[in-house]
Structure 1
Amino acid sequence: MGVRDLKQIKGDDASKLLKPIKRSRARLVLGRLWYTYSRCFDWYFGDKKYCRKRSTELLDYSVFTHRTPLLRKLKDVDMWMQHNKIINLRIAAERLDGIIINPGETFSYWKLIGRPTANKGYVDGMVLFNGGFKPGIGGGLCQLSNLIYWMTLHTPLTVTERHRHSYDVFPDSDRKLPFGSGATCVYNYRDLQIFNGTDCPFQLKVFLDETHLNGEWRAAEKLGVTYEVYEKKHSITHEYWGGYIRHNEIRRRVYNMERELIEDEYVTENHALMMYQPFIEYKPDEKIKNKESS
């Protein structure tokens, strides 16, 4: 039992690997093609057994639920992107709602959703790109992968593939979850994959209401443990090349039904290049003026 992030950058290596690198357009295109076709090969010729059964009948026990607001004000982001995101989330959620992961099966976010295209009804939404954002078909689906990843950390399912956000694009605004507790997604090579190594089937429920994206993991049997996910070692470092990198470690506590601590597990660590000024500059003259005017 446990959760592991297979894409890890350790310690001082983060500073070197997160330093911005300018790559040619040709390299970006060829790299994307390589990873896209490699993923397709894995889906259809690999040795994993991917889940595909969906059911409208709910499994008996609720394991964990979570919801996130559909609309948030983000700096310099037009609200039409947020409203279009809702359209994209609704289409993708319908592809995942009710999916069952039986023992020995793997959940693949992109294999179940498929490529987001205009023909399927997807529209332009916000897509994070190289530390900024731009409009793109299917934009906004990271909110769904973030939700599923966070909920999965509260189950005995094992995350076998998760990609962290390499950039911290927006300042915290009413953040309720630890920094780095999400999972970025790019069709199809940045996938979210979850393995059921238990002997119990699990079922995913995701749907939208008027204001929120809602999710739930359910199980065929009642679990004997609960989970508490938290962050540790949060820090911001000023790098030699001028930028700032944000770091933390995600861990989780496992409790039995008597709320006795069984285990304190390492989950993953995060390192993200900050795209905004992390500290407010102190100006003594302004403080003096404020005092004089009060």
Structure 2
Amino acid sequence: MFGPSSVPKPKYRSRWRTAAGIAYYRLRRRVSWMLGNKRFARLRRDEPLRHVHFTHRTPLLRQLRNVEMQLQHNKIINLRLAAQRLDGLVLQPGETFSYWKTIGKPTRRQGYVDGMVLHHGTVRAGVGGGLCQLSNLIYWMTLHTPLTITERYRHGYDVFPDAGRKQPFGTGATCFYNYLDLQIENRTETCCQLRIWLTDTDLVGEWRADSPASHRYEITETRHWITQEWWGGYVRHNVICRNRFDAEGRWLDEQFVAENHAIMMYEPCLPEKANPDEVPGRSDL
């Protein structure tokens, strides 16, 4: 079903052309928000719904090679501001959750500061940087629920090797205001609630609901391969699926989730004894 996929050589556009493209896509997104027929989730509830469907946490700080530690501390400020906009959001049947419509534009006026941003496979500073850790968390949690992911974007570059990885490659969701969005639709008959908060060490999230979970999900990488493109770069590919089990633990079926392709920013063959302190994880950028 799946096979080698060619990835074109990256195009580096001028600053002015990039700015024009961003303005165009942001305008198009705003128009779709205003004129589209989706019902976006707006209701927030302080009291948590009764049943936890899935919970996950990721560390706030890591030792990242060639990245200033101050950017990670700034990331925590950005995450805390965004979490305040998301925590308690109720996703009712028929409604859609939009990451950026709920959070809004991260600007200095709103209190956001320079954090880590991935740009063409490199880490740099940018206002609101680090919010991909939050979109990654929400995407991963949603894969373990019956909610339907209707819009998600993957990272186009594979920046860091796998040392210390706890989740399969390609199970994150990149974000960039406002057109690289994460959208989730509730096609069930159950009200769901997103909970997001920060501890001293972790970013923590939950999907809760007003009825108990009827299924359990297990995310797996069913295929993985690396190709060398005609232009000289290496590209990493994989296929992500999930196994669905009933409440008694009986396997029901395997569901396709995504096929990922990312340009590798490191050599495909690394020394066996790479220093784990110099090889950061990726899901927390």
Query: So what's the TM-score if we normalise by structure 2?
Result: 0.92
| Deviation >3 Å, runs of 4+ | none
- For 1:212-251, what aligned pairs fall within 5 Å after superposition? 212-251=202-241
The corresponding residue for 2:27 is 37
What SS class does the counterpart of residue 6 from structure 2 fall into? helix
- Please state how far the C-alpha of 1:281 moved relative to its aligned partner: 6.9
Whose helix proportion is higher, 1 or 2?
1
The answer to whether the 8 Å contact 2:241/2:258 transfers is: yes
Cα separation, 2, equivalents of 1:90 and 1:70: 11
Q: Does 1:16 align with 2:7?
A: yes
2:39 is the counterpart of 1:49: yes
CA separation in 2, counterparts of 1:117 and 1:31? 19
**Contact 2:7 2:229 (8 Å CA) reproduced:** no
**How far apart, CA to CA, are the structure 2 residues paired with 1:191 and 1:111?**
9
SS in structure 2 of the partner of residue 73 of structure 1? coil
* Distance in 2 separating the partners of 1:148 and 1:280: 31
Q: Work out which of the two has the higher radius of gyration on C-alpha atoms and give 1 or 2.
A: 1
TM-score (norm 1): 0.89
SS at match of 1:270: strand
Q: Which residue in 2 is equivalent to 1:275?
A: 265
Partner of 1:146 in structure 2?
A: 136
Partner of 1:206: 196
Whether the 8 Å CA contact 1:90–1:207 is kept in 2: the answer is yes
* Alignment correspondent of 1:78: 68
Structure 1 Cα separation of the partners of residues 270 and 50 of structure 2? 50
Q: CA deviation at 1:11?
A: 4.5
Identity of aligned residues (%): 57
Work out the CA distance in 2 between the residues paired with 1:225 and 1:131: 37
- Structure 1 residue aligned with 2:244: 254
CA displacement at 1:74 relative to structure 2: 1.6
1:125-204 matches, within 5 Å, as 125-204=115-194
Mapped partners of 1:116, 1:16: distance in 2: 31
Question: Does structure 1 retain, via aligned residues, the 8 Å contact 2:216–2:247?
Answer: yes
**Paired residues for 1:60-139 under 5 Å:** 60-139=50-129
Cα deviations by residue, 1:205-228 (Å, 9 ceiling, x for unpaired): 000000000000001111211111
Gap regions ≥5 residues in structure 2? 273-285
Contact 1:88 1:122 in 2 (8 A): yes
Q: Distance in 2 between matches of 1:207 and 1:99?
A: 12
- 1:173-212: per-residue Cα shift (whole Å, max 9, x none)? 3110000100000000000000000011100000000000
1:85 aligned partner, one-letter code: K
- Inter-partner Cα distance in structure 2 for 1:62 and 1:258: 17
Letter in 2 for 1:161: E
Deviations 1:252-274 (A, max 9, x none): 00001121111100000110001
Q: CA deviation at 1:44?
A: 1.5
RMSD: 1.3
For the 8 Å contact 1:251–1:265, the answer to whether it is kept is yes
Deviations along 1:15-68, whole A, 9 cap, x unmatched?
Answer: 233x21122223211111111011111111111000010001111100000000
Name the CA distance, whole Å, in 1 between partners of 2:239 and 2:156: 15
In 1: Cα distance, 2:122 partner to 2:250 partner: 44
Size of the alignment, in residue pairs? 271
Match for residue 281 of structure 2? none
C-alpha contact (below 8 Å) 2:7/2:235 kept by paired residues: no
Output one character per residue of 1:94-129: Cα deviation in whole Å (capped at 9) or x when no partner. 100000000000000000000001111110001111
